[in-house]
């Protein structure tokens, strides 16, 4: 299975948080699954850290590499698709995550109820 971690799940992973369910930790750690973390997640973490809304130690890009995850760049087609999704949700980070999961047939691991309610991509619930 190919997985895409949303920003909150990636933060939990990096912090070794107990908020991340053991079954999901095992799934993310399983080498049978390719795990992606998007450039959009790195942007969101860096932006929130700069605004003092998030305390994230170290480099999110470095954490992707150290965790053995695959970085997922944002393609122009991702941005276009994200902007065209019919969804009353203005968060551009969430829109891009959903667009990337949809375009690449990835299962999104999220704790975001708004994303879960959208229902257009396969979700593993982390909440």
Q: What is the pTM of this model?
A: 0.94
Any residues with CB less than 8 A from the CB of 121 and at least 6 apart, and which? 98, 101, 102, 106, 107, 108
The tokens of 1 are what? 């299975």
Alpha carbons within 13 angstroms on the beta-carbon side of residue 61 total: 4
> So what's the pLDDT on residue 120?
80
On whether the CB atoms of residues 115 and 12 are closer than 8 A, the answer is: no
> pLDDT averaged over consecutive 10-residue blocks of the chain (127 residues)?
97 96 96 97 97 95 97 97 88 93 97 85 91
Q: Where are the domains of the chain?
A: 2-125
> So what's the pLDDT on residue 90?
78
Q: Which CATH number fits domain 2-125: 3.30.70.2860, 3.20.20.10, 3.40.50.1010, 1.10.4080.10?
A: 3.40.50.1010
């Amino acid at each position: 299975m190919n997985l895409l971690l949303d920003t909150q799940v990636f933060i939990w992973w990096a912090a070794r948080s107990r908020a991340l369910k053991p079954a999901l930790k095992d799934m993310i750690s399983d080498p049978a699954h390719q795990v992606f973390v998007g450039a959009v997640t790195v942007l969101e973490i860096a932006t929130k850290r700069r605004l003092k809304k998030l305390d994230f130690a170290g480099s999110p890009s470095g954490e992707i590499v150290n965790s053995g995850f695959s970085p997922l760049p944002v393609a122009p087609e991702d941005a276009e698709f994200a902007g065209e999704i019919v969804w009353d949700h203005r968060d551009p980070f969430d829109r891009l995550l959903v667009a990337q999961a949809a375009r690449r047939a990835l299962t999104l691991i999220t704790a975001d109820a708004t994303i879960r309610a959208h229902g257009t991509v396969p979700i593993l619930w982390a909440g």
